[in-house]
A and B are shown apart, each in its own frame.
Chain A
Amino acid sequence: MNDRRQRFRHALITAWTIAVLVFVFLPGACLVLASLTASRYFTFPITKWGLEWWSKTFNSIEVRQLLATSISIAAVVTVVAVLVGFFGALAFARYDWRGRSLYQRLVLLPIFFPQSVLGLSLLLWFNALGLDLSWKTAVIAHLVWIIPVVTLVISIQVYSFDPALEEAAFDLGATRAQVFREVTLPVLFPGLFSGALFAFLLSWGNFPLSLFTTGADTTVPEYLYAKMVAGYTPGVPVLGTVSTIGAALLLLGGYGLILLMRRHDRERAS
């Protein structure tokens, strides 16, 4: 009796979701279009298509330097954030200890904080310490925000982890290191993997923290911002497209890998 109305409601929700998805991806589509224009200025409809700006952008030494800086920062951030976030998540979700509830709120604070203000605060702090600003200080700045995010991502996996598994392994005579290697790590691996993915991508796309803390070094988002404010160059849509598509591929590929691993595990188990 209510079936038709329910179906109608679901159709409405689906249509709305598709509309929101279009809204989310519309600007990205415009970037792609603009990067494929051969002319110096962007007008639509495009009259001359071409890939000139792609080759020009990628042959520029400056752009290679930018990519190198951004990737170095993201790589270091990923390794440190996953290490600290892993233990952080165990404290967040696995163990019961006095002060845990306060700790959980402390972890959230940097996430619930305006990033531009955090970037400025770090600038003042580095200055007070007498540190020279470079991509290394940017790594520290990114970590302050990304470690808590990664901790939350890993925590969600840790919540679904049954401590009885570890206890069973201990009962069977496994050492602490063995339990860690054979039980804890494999079970939590999808969470660690998602955490690493988040860390890399959030660092790769970050602008407000980098803006204040990189000093003379420049990351891709900072460069794009400077170019945007200064006026139009077709290099901006090209780099923008690259960073969007790169992020999308890394994310979808990463999750594809997790699904494959799960299937593999299930087949081995059965």
Chain B
Amino acid sequence: MTPGTDRLFGNPGRRAAIPLLVVLALGFAAPLLAVVGYSFMPPRTFSIFSSPTLENYRTIFEGTAYVSFLWSLALAVITVIMLAIICYPVAYGLVRVFGRWSTLLTLLFTIPLFVSENVRLYGWILLLIKNGVLLGTLKSLFGLELDSILFTLGAIVLGMVYVYLPFMLFPMTLGIAMVPTDTRDAAYDLGASRWQVFREIELPLSMPGLVIGCLLTFVLAIGAIAEAKVLGGQRIIPITHDIESAFTYSQNWPLGAALSVLLMLVVGALVLAVLRRFDLDRVLGRR
């Protein structure tokens, strides 16, 4: 190796990073630049080499796309809050209560990750639909006839909470595992109440995991597309639906690209702002 390449690639860490960085450059950075490029193309064109225009952005800001945008934000926020409340006791249990059962339970919670989300949402349809598993049972056992909650806002939130549960649970578990038991015990010995230990020790020390869980679920939820379609019966139109229909039905790629750019800006700013604050070595396990 010549001294020049040695300085560039000589460090084994830098050398090992190269394949991944190439993938990210060609498969992530370049496509995003392509989207930004398309967003400045004249409406309804498919080439990226026309002369740039701001027309798509003007259409968006003069139109009603902000309604979908607000719906997406609201759904994502509700999902994150509900998941934080649902997952905390479970994550706490996985780290501190269940002992050797934790591994099995963790595996069970992992399984749904590997089944495509539309299949899992379909299960909810079978459960909730009229004459489905829930209403059919109520009817045959008690003669009750209730209205299905399918195709309501509640059903969409249910679907989103369900689909993104593992993405909150696992970072949270990592976060709670970061709290040293000694510190907790010491606080108890010094006479702290349970609530004080939770507020002063558990919560702040497990914060990186909690925040990463919230961030991950927020980002995925704002990009959700299947829930509103499958469980919501299109009663609520999220921004991802606008983007998708610009690319499919209306064949207006530049408009879809401009909407994507706006979504990417929100997500990107949030992710970069949050990730900057954490020492990933500590969160992931270098003690």
Q: Tell me the A residues contacting B by CB distance below 8 Å.
A: 10, 12-14, 16-17, 20-21, 23-31, 33-34, 42-45, 83-85, 87-88, 90-101, 103-118, 120-125, 127-128, 140-141, 143-144, 147-148, 151-152, 155-156, 159-160, 201-202, 204-208, 212, 220-221, 224-225, 228-229, 236-237, 239-240, 243-244, 247-248, 251-252, 255
A141: chain B residues at CB < 8 Å are 27
State the main secondary structure of chain A at its contact with B. Answer: helix
Additional pairs, 4, CB under 8 Å, beyond known A17-B94, A224-B118, A225-B118: A29-B123, A94-B16, A114-B220, A116-B243
Binds A, one of B6-14, B58-66, B178-186, B199-207: B6-14
CB–CB A31/B12 < 8 A = no
Interface 1/0s, chain B 251-270, versus A by CB < 8 A? 00100110010011001000
B13: chain A residues at CB < 8 Å are 90-91, 94-97, 100
A204: chain B residues at CB < 8 Å are 114
Can you list 22 residue pairs at the A/B interface with Cβ under 8 Å? Answer: A17-B93, A20-B87, A31-B123, A43-B136, A93-B286, A97-B13, A99-B14, A104-B280, A109-B28, A112-B271, A113-B264, A117-B240, A121-B31, A124-B48, A140-B27, A148-B24, A155-B284, A205-B116, A225-B226, A237-B126, A239-B119, A251-B107
A205: chain B residues at CB < 8 Å are 113-116, 119
CB–CB B275/A105 < 8 A = yes
CB–CB B216/A111 < 8 A = yes
Q: For B35, give its contact among A44, A96, A120 (CB under 8 Å).
A: A120
A88: chain B residues at CB < 8 Å are 16-17, 19-20
B244 close to A (CB within 8 Å):
yes
B144 close to A (CB within 8 Å):
no
B87: chain A residues at CB < 8 Å are 20
Q: Which of A91, A236, A252 has the most CB of B within 10 A?
A: A91
State the main secondary structure of chain B at its contact with A. Answer: helix
CB–CB A30/B127 < 8 A = yes
B105 close to A (CB within 8 Å):
yes
Q: For A243, give its contact among B115, B140, B275 (CB under 8 Å).
A: B115
CB–CB A107/B35 < 8 A = no
Q: Complex Cα distance A42/B131, Å? A: 8
CB–CB B114/A247 < 8 A = yes
B57 close to A (CB within 8 Å):
no
Q: Complex Cα distance A83/B109, Å? A: 27
* Minimal beta-carbon separation of B243 from chain A (angstroms): 7
Residue of B nearest to A240 (CB): B119
* Minimal beta-carbon separation of A140 from chain B (angstroms): 6
B89: chain A residues at CB < 8 Å are 12-13, 16-17
CB–CB A24/B267 < 8 A = no
Q: Complex Cα distance A155/B20, Å? A: 13
CB–CB B136/A110 < 8 A = no
A128: chain B residues at CB < 8 Å are 34, 37, 48
